[in-house]
A and B are shown apart, each in its own frame.
Chain A
Amino acid sequence: GQNIDQPTEMTATEGAIVQINCTYQTSGFNGLFWYQQHAGEAPTFLSYNVLDGLEEKGRFSSFLSRSKGYSYLLLKELQMKDSASYLCAVRDGNYQLIWGAGTKLIIKP
């Protein structure tokens, strides 16, 4: 079956750096997405990786290794507003999105 694993919850300190990991096993691969979801709100797009390597966008970066079935989202200079859930999603060989359960990130002052 298809599966995406990410930690349920992480805690970090304001101003620090945090890395949220995502491992996946899917039938085919056509890209990996990261979304941010604040409590009570809809998910919003953060990043997209389809080739191996690091994609940087401001304070957020996302890395992909297709051979390892692995990605991470790196958040730098953490701010209180970064407290949210971070969802990893993989587009499989049929171009269907498979979603992880999400990682709840708690930022402490």
Chain B
Amino acid sequence: IAGITQAPTSQILAAGRRMTLRCTQDMRHNAMYWYRQDLGLGLRLIHYSNTAGTTGKGEVPDGYSVSRANTDDFPLTLASAVPSQTSVYFCASSDGGSGRTFFGQGTRLTVV
């Protein structure tokens, strides 16, 4: 089934640990995004990539890094996790023609 796959689906992480959230899409979309979603705050953009080899900072990039080595993969790394990074993380990609955004199933991350 075409779409976006995220891994893991949930994780409990000790503060200070490094963690990479994986994201793979098979729709050949150029643009990909990482969002975090917290209750009452909606979706907030962490980082984005308009095409393979390029990345940019979103609204809340501090403490996160991304890479885009190829079209399909867009991993998000937390270098040293802190409790405020407890959230649901969504990876997404968009169809350049319609502008529609497609989301992965999300990763529920708890930093303790």
Contact present for B105 and A41 (CB under 8 Å): yes
The prevalent SS among residues of B at the interface is: strand
Interface membership of B74, Cβ < 8 A:
no
A22 at the interface (CB under 8 A from B): no
B34 contacts across to A, CB distance below 8 A? none
Interface residue? B20 (CB, 8 A): no
Range class of the A interface residue count: 20 to 34
Interface range on chain B (Cβ under 8 Å from partner):
10 to 19
- Nearest CB in chain B: distance from A35 CB, A: 8
How far is it, in angstroms, between the C-alpha of A97 and the C-alpha of B44 when the chains are bound?
10
Q: Which residues of A contact B98 (CB under 8 A)?
A: 48
Q: CB-CB < 8 A to A101: which residues of B?
A: 40-42
In the bound complex, CA of A78 to CA of B4 (Å): 30
A31-B41 Cα distance, complex, nearest whole Å: 22
Pair A48/B90 contact, Cβ less than 8 Å: no
Q: List A residues at the B interface (Cβ < 8 Å).
A: 8, 30-31, 33, 35, 41-45, 48, 87, 89, 91, 95-97, 99-102
Q: List 18 A-B contacts (CB under 8 A).
A: A8-B40, A33-B101, A35-B101, A42-B104, A42-B105, A43-B90, A43-B101, A48-B99, A48-B100, A87-B43, A89-B101, A96-B45, A96-B48, A97-B94, A97-B101, A99-B42, A99-B44, A102-B42
